[in-house]
Structure 1
Amino acid sequence: MAHNPHDASAGVFLTETIPGDSRQARQLARRQLIAEAVMAEGAIRIEDLTGRFGISLMTAHRDIDEMVARGLLHKSRGVVSATPTSLVESSDLYRATRQLEEKQAIAEVAATYIEPGQALFLDDSTTVLQLARLLAMKAPLTVITNSLTLMNELRNGRDITLMGLGGQFHHWCNAFMGRMTRDEIASLRADVFFISMSAIVDDAVFHQSAETVETKRAMFDAAQKRILMMDHTKFERRALHRFAHLTDFDVVIVNQGTPVATLRRLQEQGVNLVVAPMKKDQVADQQP
């Protein structure tokens, strides 16, 4: 069955309005499925994709080349892989499958900081996406976001006033960014900004995209309270552009499984740290 091009689950490709029975729609749907398969398995021989999706080798290479050009996949010697380069780490499709249980645990804690009637900025991160799925219990709310994925998630929410930020659309994160987006943000004021980033380096948060940093900075400056949501793997990563020190946030939520020594050091520095509890089996899976 073809994906609905407006369905948030359709990921980074199916965002254009295309008739469901058109050749282009089928092509986009197939590329989406190929990307999901590669990112789920890590690497796949291109020849294997021909049988799996009923396509020629030439078509498989053409599909993969298009996704390689977008920075979603890597192709080498007949194998397509999802090596976590900076763009793959950023892609909405790739991020959505990573540390899902940790993100859900963090989101449950983050939801406790929301009061009915508030206006919220939500960024385009997949961690914040998990929070968006909990907002119905906190309604009425006003939600402001640049994420097309979140807009689709919340568009039918009861008692949720959804304000979608416009601007230039970026496929790799399924979100709007740029000067127009920042100008819209600057004209608004929100009670709380929920944000996640790519990495924590030297006790500061970083992202690999300068434009993402600028967009999130605009939300940061236009919110009364700022809450950072970061799973434990962010302490193991690196990114290029600095956003803010952890002490600049009103609350920093991490998941159980973050090293105890790290938690103690951050608390000693004055970081308002909250640890989201996880199921015992999930914590056990994180142990070396």
Structure 2
Amino acid sequence: MLPVERQKKIIDLLTVKKVLKMPELREEMGISIDTLRRDISALAEQGKIKKIYGGVKLAEPKFGEVSMEERMISHLEEKTAIAKTCDEHIEDGDCIYLDSGSTTYQIARYIKEKRNLTVITNSVPVILELMNSNVELIVIGGKVRKNERSVVTYDYLFNFHQLNIQKAFICASGITMEKGISDYNVEEALARKKIIDISHEVYVASDSSKFGRNVTVNIAGLDEVDYVVTDQKVREEVIRGFDEVKTELIISKE
């Protein structure tokens, strides 16, 4: 196995388990301790992992949220599987909201053949993806966040309550059982709060790496969300936690 392949596997393992002790990681990898130390040093120098006493963990972004470009390619297999699962919950004739985010962008790729589908969005990549499809597009107006390729809007610019959204697909940067879903940006969080308030059903589409994080701005408690759609790498303790709340956890089939 090449160094880059080994290092990707280490990142994948840490995405699932968050923290790994050196003996556990060496057993999972099936490599010598010297090779493992070289790979860990390389990943630490790249800022991807952090060494802790007796083990390693994923490094948190130094300045909050990672860029949209990075998120578009990270955990891509998981996000694709989540998108396919969300597509199964979208029917012909629905009016849905697609949030700005790398996972909801993947949903847009799978819904182009739906009949009489209306998509309301604040995501520039979603708009571009659906521009030449038969999907009817409604774009909420407001200020463009260029780095996020999104539009954030306010009550005085856009009348949210005229929208009749059957299903909203929301992104989140963090999810915990205690605090619910959260995000890094205040303006994005305010728009999401509005959409959650007026939507008949709310789906949070989020890969398993987001669980256990509570970031800058709270969006909503889990009691305000109907479904959380995630991938098969979700930890067992997270799955058990959803037994205690009314929110349904949907795990992708792939």
TM-score, normalising length from structure 1? 0.64
Are residue 225 (structure 1) and residue 201 (structure 2) matched? yes
* TM-align CA RMSD: 2.3
Structure 1: gaps of 5 or more residues: 1-40, 45-81, 279-288
Cα distance in 2 for residues equivalent to 1:270 and 1:188: 26
Report 1:52-91 matches (<5 A): 84-89=61-66, 91=67
* Aligned-residue offset at 1:259: 0.8
Cα distance in 2 for residues equivalent to 1:255 and 1:100: 11
Q: 2:128 aligns with which of 149, 152, 164?
A: 152
Structure 2: gaps of 5 or more residues: 1-42, 47-58
Contact 1:144 1:164 (8 Å CA) reproduced:
yes
Cα distance in 1 for residues equivalent to 2:248 and 2:129: 30
Whichever residue aligns with residue 99 of structure 1, its letter is H
Cα distance in 2 for residues equivalent to 1:42 and 1:175: 32
Provide the identity percentage: 27
* CA offsets 1:32-58 (integer angstroms, 9 cap, x no match): xxxxxxxxx9988xxxxxxxxxxxxxx
* Aligned-residue offset at 1:249: 1.3
Structure with the larger RCO, 1 or 2 (CA within 8 Å, 6+ apart): 2
Cα distance in 1 for residues equivalent to 2:200 and 2:124: 24
Name the counterpart of 2:77. 101
Residue 238 of structure 1 aligns to a residue whose secondary structure is coil
Are residue 171 (structure 1) and residue 137 (structure 2) matched? no
- Higher share in helix: 1
Name the counterpart of 1:198. 173
Q: 1:273 aligns with which of 239, 249, 253?
A: 249
Cα distance in 1 for residues equivalent to 2:166 and 2:250: 20
Name the counterpart of 2:37. none
Cα distance in 2 for residues equivalent to 1:222 and 1:262: 28
Residue 200 of structure 1 aligns to a residue whose secondary structure is strand
Name the counterpart of 1:246. 222
Residue 156 of structure 1 aligns to a residue whose secondary structure is coil
Residue 189 of structure 1 aligns to a residue whose secondary structure is coil
Name the counterpart of 1:28. none
* Aligned-residue offset at 1:164: 1.4
TM-score, normalising length from structure 2? 0.72
Query: How has the CA–CA distance of structure 1 residues 182 and 111 changed in structure 2, closer, same or farther, with 3 Å as cutoff?
Result: farther
Whichever residue aligns with residue 174 of structure 2, its letter is A
Contact 2:164 2:198 (8 Å CA) reproduced:
yes
Contact 2:112 2:130 (8 Å CA) reproduced:
no
Cα distance in 1 for residues equivalent to 2:220 and 2:214: 14
Name the counterpart of 1:121. 97
Q: How many residues align?
A: 199
Whichever residue aligns with residue 195 of structure 1, its letter is I
Residue 157 of structure 1 aligns to a residue whose secondary structure is coil
Query: How has the CA–CA distance of structure 1 residues 181 and 116 changed in structure 2, closer, same or farther, with 3 Å as cutoff?
Result: farther
Name the counterpart of 1:69. none
Name the counterpart of 1:237. 213
